[in-house]
């Protein structure tokens, strides 16, 4: 028997999207009067596999895996083309996209062109600079122009949307679903796959976690690696753990500068449960990541953010995150202050969660249900 329920098509392609959408997908599937179709664009296929399996959000449709480092226009065009045939077959009433990736923008545009309503999770984040971060700031602004429902993670994000002329009735403040996922994963048993990481954790060693992968920082990785090299020389009793992104440019930059260094541990990208367990135990994190800005404060871990601007202004206000840019001198000076001054480190180590208490997925799913069922 063919279901007459409205269909929600949920699209992810990167690890952060899958993590943040997993709680929503499960919540949506609890509604008997909705049908949920999950689609993966496989933008980051290698990093997706463990997440999809562990969270139980296997895709009903999957596009062919994409080569790492593909040009943006090629990525955008192939994603729209691949999704178009799925949209035609599934004929959903609503497409849910998350964040500001190329997958999110391509999915929103493909759905819009098919006359399908678009809901945007994590809507309203803004730096005010169309090229920072690139292309994410442009992606999310463009999605906002075609979305029917905007799920904002905070009051500030909501105000950004209202200031751009988005009708108030189309904006819902939900919190951020990454907190839902983080709290869930925190209850899982974790066995570190890298014995060196396992030894570090078992010894309760003092260590700093480092991540870098932003497209706009690819030309600055040599300076970032140099900063970590200087810090490792200055603090021989501190370890620096650097999970490497799959992008060869990232791997090469860090391996050339840091491979073989005694207190620097270069690893492959870690599965999300391992990463969060490591993050929880770290003294601080030096990163250019968007998601880590949300996760680390919720765990009470100080963040030195290798950007000049952030779209997550709430974390700056909380005192958990400091902007240090990508200049090696600034990075070294900021990290040195925290490693030398226990009081200053402690002041930044207070748990802060401006993105909710871990129930955002319920608010998101209820808003989608209301859009399709209650309000039709």
Q: What are phi and psi of 336, to 5 degrees?
A: -60, -40
> For this structure, is 122 an active site residue?
yes
Task: Reply yes or no on whether 215 is catalytic.
Answer: yes
Res. 328: pLDDT tops 80: yes
- Residue ranges per domain, the chain? 7-176+357-374, 193-349
Domains 7-176+357-374 and 193-349 alike in fold: yes
Give the domain 193-349 fold. Answer: Rossmann fold (3.40.50)
pLDDT in tens, 5-36: 999 999 999 999 999 999 999 999 999 999 99
- 245 classed as catalytic: yes
DSSP state of 219: G
Residue of 17, 35, 136, 229 marked active site: 136
Q: In angstroms, rounded to a whole number, what is the distance separating the alpha carbons of residues 324 and 227?
A: 12
Q: Is residue 148 annotated as part of the catalytic site, yes or no?
A: no
Residue-wise pLDDT tens digits, 139-153: 999 999 999 999 999
Q: Given the residues 35, 122, 137, 156, select the one marked as catalytic.
A: 122
Q: What CATH number belongs to 7-176+357-374?
A: 3.40.50.2000
User: Which of 17, 35, 100, 229 is the catalytic position?
Assistant: 100
Q: What are phi and psi for residue 328, nearest 5 degrees?
A: -60, -35
Q: Which of the following is catalytic: 15, 120, 214, 245?
A: 245
Of residues 69 and 203, more confidently modeled: 203
Closest CA to 288 of 237, 238, 253: 253
Average pLDDT, the chain: 94
């Amino acid at each position: 028997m063919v279901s007459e329920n409205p269909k929600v098509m949920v699209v992810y392609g990167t690890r952060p999207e899958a993590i943040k959408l997993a709680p929503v997908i499960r919540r949506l599937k609890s509604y008997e009067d909705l049908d949920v179709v999950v689609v993966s664009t496989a933008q980051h296929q290698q990093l997706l596999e463990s997440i999809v399996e562990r969270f139980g959000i296997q895709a009903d449709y999957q596009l062919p895996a994409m080569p790492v480092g593909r040009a943006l226009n090629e990525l955008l065009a192939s994603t729209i083309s691949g999704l178009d045939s799925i949209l035609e077959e599934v004929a959903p009433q609503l497409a849910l996209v998350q964040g500001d990736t190329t997958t999110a923008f391509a999915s929103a545009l493909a759905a819009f062109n098919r006359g399908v309503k678009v809901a945007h999770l994590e809507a309203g984040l803004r730096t005010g600079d169309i090229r920072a971060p690139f292309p994410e700031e442009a992606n999310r602004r463009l999605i906002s122009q075609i979305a029917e429902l905007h799920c904002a993670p905070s009051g500030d994000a909501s105000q950004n949307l209202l200031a751009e002329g988005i009708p108030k009735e189309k904006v819902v403040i939900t919190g951020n679903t990454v907190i839902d996922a983080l709290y869930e994963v925190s209850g899982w048993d974790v066995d570190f796959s890298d014995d060196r990481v396992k030894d570090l954790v078992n010894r309760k060693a003092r260590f700093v976690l480092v991540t870098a992968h932003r497209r706009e920082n690819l030309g600055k990785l040599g300076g970032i690696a140099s900063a970590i090299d200087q810090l490792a020389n200055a603090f021989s009793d501190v370890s620096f753990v650097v999970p490497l992104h799959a992008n060869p440019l990232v791997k090469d930059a860090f391996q050339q500068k840091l491979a073989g260094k005694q207190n620097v541990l270069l690893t492959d990208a870690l599965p999300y449960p391992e990463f969060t367990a490591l993050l929880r135990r770290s003294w601080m994190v030096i990163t250019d990541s968007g998601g880590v800005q949300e996760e680390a404060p919720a765990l009470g871990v100080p963040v030195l953010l290798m950007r000049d601007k952030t779209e997550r202004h709430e974390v700056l206000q909380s005192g958990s995150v400091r902007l240090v840019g990508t200049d090696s001198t600034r990075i070294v000076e900021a990290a040195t202050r925290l490693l030398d001054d226990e009081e200053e480190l402690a002041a930044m180590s207070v748990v802060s969660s401006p993105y909710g208490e871990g129930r955002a997925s319920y608010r998101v799913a209820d808003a989608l249900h209301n859009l399709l069922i209650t309000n039709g």
